Amino acid sequence: MSASQSKVVQYFFAPHSPWTYLGHARLMAIAAKTGAQIDVRPFDLGKVFSVSGGLPLAKRAPQRQAYRLAELARWSAFLQVPLTLQPKFFPVSPEASAKLIIATRLAHGVEASLNLAHAIMRGLWAEERNIGDEETLVQIALDAGFDGRQLLKTSETASVQAEYDANTEAATAASVFGSPWYIVDGEGYWGQDRLDFVERALER
């Protein structure tokens, strides 16, 4: 497939989602393999939950919480992606990290934003770092080869907030109700366990 024919996968995600973390590197590999472009769309999962019937983790029934932990352990082992089931800094607000990812895309492009997103999610789920803390985010960005301080400054601008809000509105309009959520040719796929279907859609 030539560049002019390459498909786009809209990637709606919240950077504090362990499921997004488990699928992130695989999505990047699938895009590289198929020549697809990734449209990076960090969004406010909490707002989407509020209009789609979703519940934050703490409000879910105990049996649902227990099964979530079992599934995370299974997928972590199967994919050989290191993951701490109950990291020290979770639950955590994802807003600052989401806006840092948007700022990175605006300054350095899609691939850079995807790389930083992976570093942030790995920081939370494998390294037990507090991605709700601005200084921690600056350090994660520095470790990934970016000017973390400048990106943080950019992330606090009205234009980045506007994009974050627009992504959230677009997610709601597209009937998104979880993270990660992938859209190819107008069809939505919820969860990293649907990446096989995403790959097939991109190869059509």
Q: Answer left, alpha or beta for residue 180, where phi above 0 means left and psi between -120 and 50 means alpha.
A: beta
What is the SS3 assignment for 11? Answer: strand
Tokens 């770092």 identify what position? 129
CA 127, chain centre distance (Å): 17
Q: How many CB atoms lie within 10 A of CB 188?
A: 16
H or E stretch at 72? helix 62-79
Q: Angle CA(91)–CA(95)–CA(101) in degrees, nearest 5? A: 115
pLDDT in tens, the chain (204 residues): 444 478 999 999 999 999 999 999 999 999 999 999 999 999 999 999 888 788 888 899 999 999 999 999 999 999 999 999 999 999 999 999 999 999 999 999 999 999 999 999 999 999 999 999 999 999 999 999 999 999 999 999 999 999 999 999 999 999 999 999 999 999 999 999 999 999 999 999
The whole model's pTM is what? Answer: 0.95
H or E stretch at 17? none
* pLDDT reported for residue 54: 84
What residue ranges define each of the domains in the chain, with the CATH number in brackets? 8-203 (3.40.30.10)
pLDDT in tens, 51-65: 878 888 889 999 999
14 DSSP 8-state letter = -
Which position among 4, 17, 113, 159 bears the catalytic label? 17
Active site residue 17: yes
Query: Which tokens belong to 178?
Result: 């979880």
Query: Which tokens belong to 32?
Result: 């590289």
* pLDDT reported for residue 2: 46
Query: Which tokens belong to 46?
Result: 């909490």
